[in-house]
């Protein structure tokens, strides 16, 4: 069972989720000092393109929510940054083991990961791992933001590859059926060659591609995919995924009409290039006038389902 996040807003649907955790013993003050610097890199333009990439950081995230990543891609953990503290190279073996255990927990959805080790010089550590960065101390770590930008660029490359791979459907190629965790038993024994089954696969995949396009900064493509998904899923009465497609469509529409964010002038987005650190994005919070927009969207979806089931 997933844990609901009542603080989510439209912009969260186009963001990539990165979890930041500590490995071993790290003081809270030191951890949140580095976490604040990491989370400051939240909006970037990759490779000087016009497409903005948005990152959402969490230092705590329910693992069960990760199972819903195919249903809504913004809910799955695609990046992992671990913070560790070592006083001698002898501690690295145990630290690496713990880091690998953290990666294993998110292995089904993880695009890339990094380990930031404080207290050691890279020359002293003498390690060849490319996913580890060393800093002498919490004060002498000017390259933190640069290393965060490196992992964001890596996330973008993987995301773009997945989007292009899912978008290019080859004739005759079977489309896999995406499902939410509780549906695993529902499709046992169904005919995968039936027209109804194939259309369900197409609709769900089209919705999934819409999510990937939205995260990759291709808003217009996302709107097209969501519209196609709605038509396909409505035809086969796939109500749960139809609701998710409508939610994605609402989010993309809100992002299109409010490019500066849904928190008013104070939440205006500022996008910077990959070579610079972006300031943390001020998210929408309950109580603003734009809440009414989301309430109206929610009501329309509810009335839509009432019409389907009752009318």
Q: What is the pLDDT of residues 40-79, one digit of tens each?
A: 999 888 766 778 899 999 999 988 888 899 999 999 999 9
- DSSP-derived 3-state class of residue 289: coil
How many Å separate Cα 34 from the centre of its chain? Answer: 21
Q: How many CB atoms lie within 10 A of CB 301?
A: 16
The pLDDT assigned to 192 comes to 77
pLDDT tens per residue across span 140-199? 999 999 999 999 999 999 999 999 998 876 655 788 889 888 887 777 767 778 898 899
CATH (residue range 10-163): 3.40.50
Can you give the pLDDT at residue 172? 56
- Over the stretch 87-97, which tens digit does the pLDDT of each residue have? 888 899 999 99
For residues 111 and 77, the answer to whether their CB atoms sit within 8 Å is no
Q: State residue 253's pLDDT score.
A: 94
* CATH 3.40.50 domain range(s) in the chain: 10-163
Neighbours of 267 (CB within 10 A): 19
Mean pLDDT to the nearest integer, 280-295: 42
Mean pLDDT estimate for the chain? 82
Q: CA end-to-end span of the chain, whole Å?
A: 31
User: Tell me, what's the pLDDT at 123?
Assistant: 65
Beta-bridge mates of residue 272:
44
Q: What percent of the chain has pLDDT above 90?
A: 56
What b/e readout covers 7-34, taking b as 16+ CB neighbours within 10 angstroms? ebbbbbbbbbbbbbbbbeebeeeebbeb
Tens of pLDDT, residues 241-278: 999 999 999 999 999 998 877 754 444 454 444 433 33
Total residue length of the chain: 311
Q: What is the pLDDT of residue 125?
A: 60
21-30, 177-186, 240-249, 292-301, range with the lowest pLDDT: 292-301
Rounded to an integer, the average pLDDT of 116-132 is: 80
pLDDT of 300 above 60: no
Structure token pair of residue 141:
């770590």
Contact 67, 101 (CB under 8 A): no
């Amino acid at each position: 069972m997933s844990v609901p996040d009542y603080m989510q807003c439209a912009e969260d649907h186009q963001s990539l989720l990165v979890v930041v955790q500590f490995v071993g013993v790290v003081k809270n003050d030191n951890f949140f000092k580095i976490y604040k610097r990491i989370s400051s890199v939240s909006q970037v333009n990759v490779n000087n393109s016009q497409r903005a990439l948005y990152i959402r950081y969490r230092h705590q995230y329910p693992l069960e929510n990760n199972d819903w990543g195919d249903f809504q891609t913004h809910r799955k953990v695609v990046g992992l940054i671990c913070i560790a503290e070592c006083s001698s190279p002898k501690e690295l073996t145990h630290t690496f083991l713990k880091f690998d255990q953290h990666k294993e927990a998110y292995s089904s959805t993880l695009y890339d990961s990094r380990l930031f080790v404080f207290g050691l010089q890279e020359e002293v550590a003498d390690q060849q791992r490319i996913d580890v960065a060393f800093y002498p101390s919490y004060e002498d770590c000017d390259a933190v933001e640069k290393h965060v930008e490196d992992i964001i660029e890596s996330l973008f490359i993987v995301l773009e590859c997945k989007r292009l791979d899912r978008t290019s459907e080859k004739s005759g190629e079977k489309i896999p059926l995406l499902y939410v965790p509780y549906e695993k038993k529902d499709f046992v024994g169904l005919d995968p060659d039936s027209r109804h089954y194939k259309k369900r696969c197409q609709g769900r995949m089209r919705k999934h591609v819409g999510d990937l396009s939205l995260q990759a900064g291709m808003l217009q493509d996302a709107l097209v995919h969501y519209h196609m998904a709605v038509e396909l899923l409505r035809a086969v009465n796939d109500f749960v995924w139809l609701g998710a497609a409508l939610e994605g469509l609402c989010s993309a529409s809100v992002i299109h009409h409010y490019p500066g964010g849904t928190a008013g002038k104070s939440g205006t987005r500022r996008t910077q290039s990959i070579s610079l650190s972006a300031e943390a994005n001020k998210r929408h919070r309950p109580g603003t006038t734009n809440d009414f927009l989301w309430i109206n969207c929610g009501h329309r979806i509810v009335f839509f389902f009432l019409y389907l089931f009752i009318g």
